[in-house]
Amino acid sequence: MIELYTRNTSNGHKISIALEELGLPYVIRPVNTFVGEQFAPEFVALSPNAKIPVIVDTDSGLTVYESNTILLYLAGKAGRPMPTDAARRFDALQLLFFQAASIGPIFGQRRKIRRRSGSA
């Protein structure tokens, strides 16, 4: 079972989407970052950078943080590891890092701007 420590954010969503797509059982452990729960010693023990998402795999006892590291871990757990052929592997890694460096931050900024403007 995967315990997903998260909040309603783009990084949190991509992990829950991956869990659904991969068919892995999970439970959500909400972390209220608006009141600083991410700085609680219990959470920092899971995520030294005090950020969500984090997963705890109760089957293996492993804790994994940083969203793309979590995605790689979940793919391997579900038996869908990264391709071993160099061209396909680097295609997959490029898309993963493109999402992390380009698409993900844009969604985060959009959310912040909408919140400031009073839009939902």
- Tens of pLDDT, residue by residue over 69-108, are 999 999 999 998 888 899 999 998 998 888 888 766 666 6
CA distance 5 to 19: 13
CB contact at 8 A, 52 and 31: yes
Residue 118 φ/ψ region, left for φ over 0, alpha for ψ in the -120 to 50 degree band, beta for the rest: left
Domain residue extents for the chain: 1-81, 83-120
Mean pLDDT across the stretch 43-65?
97
Q: Which two tokens stand for residue 28?
A: 């959500």
Task: Categorize the per-residue pLDDT at 63 as very low, low, confident or very high, splitting at 50, 70 and 90.
Answer: very high
Domain 1-81 part of CATH 3.40.30.10: yes
* pLDDT mean over 45-64: 97
- Segment 62-65 long-range contacts (CB within 8 Å, at least 24 positions apart): none
Give the single-character DSSP code of 23: T
Higher pLDDT, 48 or 106: 48
CA dist 21 and 26 (Å) reads 12
Confidence of residue 9 (pLDDT cuts 50, 70, 90): confident
Q: Which two tokens stand for residue 55?
A: 């997963």
